[in-house]
Amino acid sequence: MKISILAFAIIVQSFCLVAQIQKSPVNLHGSLRVEGNQMVDKTGLPPQLRGISLSWSLWGGKKYYNPEVVAWLVRDFHINLLRASMGVQPKGGYLTNREEQMNLVTTVVDKAISEGIYVLIDWHDHNAELHLEESKAFFAIMAQKYAGVPNVIYEIYNEPARQSWELVKSYSVEVIKVIRQYDLANVIVVGSPHWDQDVDVAAADPITGFENLVYSFHFYASDPNHQEKLRAKAALAMERGIALFVTEWGVGESNGNGEFNLEKTERWMDWMEKNRLSWAVWNVTDKNETTALMLPGAPANGGWKSEQLSPGGRYMRDKLGKLNK
């Protein structure tokens, strides 16, 4: 039996695709859950996912919300986790441009699923308790669409700024109830007070009555206020029994700029490795900032050359390649 060169190429491509899916991070780790103070995979061990956060789905970061960028981050940066940071409150965000924002998020989430990596659906809001009904409606749609899809993780409150834990907890319980109507098991990330730093406060009075909850912990590696005292807060939270997920951290300082201190960054990286914590580094944008992974003008469809990456971008590309391969 003779087959054409084209038919043979299609067969080879199909076999390659099947092989790729079989060795994907989601195939390896399966559905995630929480046991005690750790997020674990199907084997009962911490998967320690390592990846990258897209920037706000607004302004300059919006152009990177496309399948080509997701594919490039998987192939070139070797990520096994992507965070889709949907802007909510600023002009053009979900509150004023719902359809566009939904399309941006679902486009990258669907591509992440097809690539076999995990993906955080992030309600990127600093005042989410003011938008409770909108958040509930959004996550009802997401939970119905992605219920039982092992790749998907729900992050329901990006960074509470100065809200009390009581207020954040009350908001979170209401959103969790909505998600659990449709998705009974996928992991949900709960925000923590003070820009996701006061995880020890949340751990003193954790949310009960629901399974598979983790708490977000954020830091900026070079920030002088984000050093030993902040690591001690996280250690206390884990001692108190809650699971942490570093859904955002950066190589610079908390304002997005500042220095890129290699020694401090390595110390934080070692700390996350020691504690087997999953993380997403901030962020995919070409803004002229320390924490931006690309330099101004980097193409919107991936394919970035080394000289188009910032120092932080080159560092993270190297680190992810070594850790995730």
* 125 closest CA partner among 90, 169, 176, 164: 90
Give me the sign of the Cα torsion angle 265, 269, 275, 276.
Answer: positive
Q: Is 196 helix (H, G, I), strand (E, B) or coil?
A: helix
> How would you classify the pairing of strands 213-220 and 81-87?
unpaired
Closest CA to 306 of 76, 80, 105, 121: 76
Query: Cα separation of 48 and 88, whole Å?
Result: 28
Q: Measured between alpha carbons, how far is residue 6 from residues 10, 18, 19, 20, 279 in Å?
A: 6, 19, 20, 21, 42
Residue of 115, 129, 155, 159 marked active site = 159
248 is catalytic: yes
- Say which of 248, 253, 266, 307 is annotated catalytic: 248
How is 24-41 classified by DSSP, letter by letter? SHHHHH-S-EEETTEEE-
Asked if 72 and 315 count as a contact pair (C-beta separation under 8 A), the reply is no
Whether 258 and 288 have beta carbons less than 8 Å apart is answered as no
Q: Known catalytic residue: 100?
A: no
CA neighbours within 13 Å on the CB side: how many for 83? 30
CB neighbour list of residue 280: distance below 8 Å, 6 or more residues apart: 51, 52, 53, 81, 82, 83, 120, 246, 247, 248, 249
Q: Known catalytic residues?
A: 159, 248
